[in-house]
Amino acid sequence: MRIRVVNPNTTAAMTELIGASARAVAGPGVLVDAVTSATGPASIESHYDEALSVPGLLAAIADGEACDVDGYVVACFGDPGLDAARELARGPVVGIAEAAMHAAALLGRGFSIVTTLDRTRGRAWELAHRYTAPGACRGVHACDIPVLELDADPHLADRVAALAGLALEEDGSDVIVLGCAGMSGLCEAVSARLGVPVVDGVGAATLLVQSLVTLGLRTSVRNEYAPPLPKPYTGALAGFGMTMQQGSAQSGSAKSPVSRGSRAM
Ligand code: 5HY
């Protein structure tokens, strides 16, 4: 089984961390292929960054389809381009925020998210309202460390744990969700300090994709996640247009602008 974990920002050092976290949990016989977006922002900390990270993400998904990748992780806590990626991929596509929040909801009555900059809290709330039942997400808290400064902070675990402890008290929650792929690998340290489950979306998403593929489950070709309709694309995105052959999901044809081969229903 081959799972592609896509870092939608363009910072290779973060991809190294993300790949290590995914490989640490992946089962035997699972090849984790961690890739860095070739185009877009160095980090994703705003709606603007998120919007402009999507073409690079989709190019990595399209390339994966040409390499017969079995499933994908979108390794950014804003889950950028998740629905669009599902229109391209034959296999499952899971976002790290999606996986972390679903996992947290299985472990307690309420969870709190600890993320990076305050301005990204709104997006985390939007996703919580999409993915989980009302009241499951009790709070979103920012440690105000920029994404690209996380790995330079020698006291990161202490800072995240301190904020997470305040969040548990303030929100009355039972579980902590790490709100950035760059915090991946902090679970044990933070959980040891607080005595509650701490969920990292990279690991949760990797194993969720692995489980779905093991069950033989793929993204549906019906309705909303059918391949994009063929039409001209111009300018910088000219290469993203789907051809007639690739645009028809009903015949089970390929979904990606560059992939070959048909897709089983
Ligand atoms: C992430 N940004 O996981 C998000 C974190 C955030 O570049 N990778 C990023 O703050 O939304």
* pLDDT tens track, the chain, 265 positions: 999 999 999 999 999 999 999 999 999 999 999 999 999 999 999 999 999 999 999 999 999 999 999 999 999 999 999 999 999 999 999 999 999 999 999 999 999 999 999 999 999 999 999 999 999 999 999 999 999 999 898 999 999 999 999 999 999 999 999 999 999 989 999 999 999 999 999 999 999 999 999 999 999 999 999 999 999 999 999 999 986 655 554 445 446 543 333 333 3
| Residues 10 and 66 both lie in one domain | yes
Q: Is the CB of 78 under 6 A from ligand 1?
A: yes
Sign of the alpha-carbon torsion through 5, 239, 233, 87? negative
Ligand 1 atom 9 nearest Cα:
44
Domain that holds residue 193: 97-201
Residue 73, beta-bridge partner list:
5, 94
My answer on whether 185 and 102 are in the same domain is yes
Domain contains 263? no
Q: State both tokens at 75.
A: 């390794």
Does residue 262 lie within any of the structural domains? no
Ligand 1 centre to CA of 262 (Å) is 34
Instruction: Round to whole Å and give the CA distance between 143 and 204.
Output: 22
pTM: 0.93
Cα(97) to centroid of ligand 1, in Å?
A: 10
Question: Quick check: CB of 181 below 6 Å from ligand 1?
Answer: yes
End-to-end CA distance of the chain: 19
Does 45 share its domain with 125?
no
200, 136 in Cβ contact below 8 A?
Answer: no
CB neighbour list of residue 215: distance below 8 Å, 6 or more residues apart: none
Strand partners, 114: 141, 178
Q: How many domains does the chain have?
A: 2
Residues 79 and 17 both lie in one domain = yes
Is 138 domain-assigned?
yes
Assess if residue 163 is contained within a domain: yes
Does one domain contain both 177 and 224? no
Is the same domain home to 88 and 165?
no
Looking at the fold, whether 175 and 243 belong to one and the same domain comes out as no
Q: Do 70 and 16 belong together in one domain?
A: yes
Mutate to test the pocket of ligand 1, among 7, 9, 127, 202 (most ligand atoms within 8 A of CB): 9
User: What does the pLDDT read at residue 112?
Assistant: 98
pLDDT of residue 244: 60
> Which of helix, strand or coil describes residue 112?
strand
Whether 11 lines ligand 1, by a CB cut-off of 6 Å, is no
CATH of the domain at 156: 3.40.50.12500
pLDDT of residue 265: 36
Q: Residue 179 and residue 45: Cα distance in Å, rounded? A: 12
Ligand 1, residue 45: give the atom nearest the CA. 10
CB atoms within 10 A of CB 72: 30
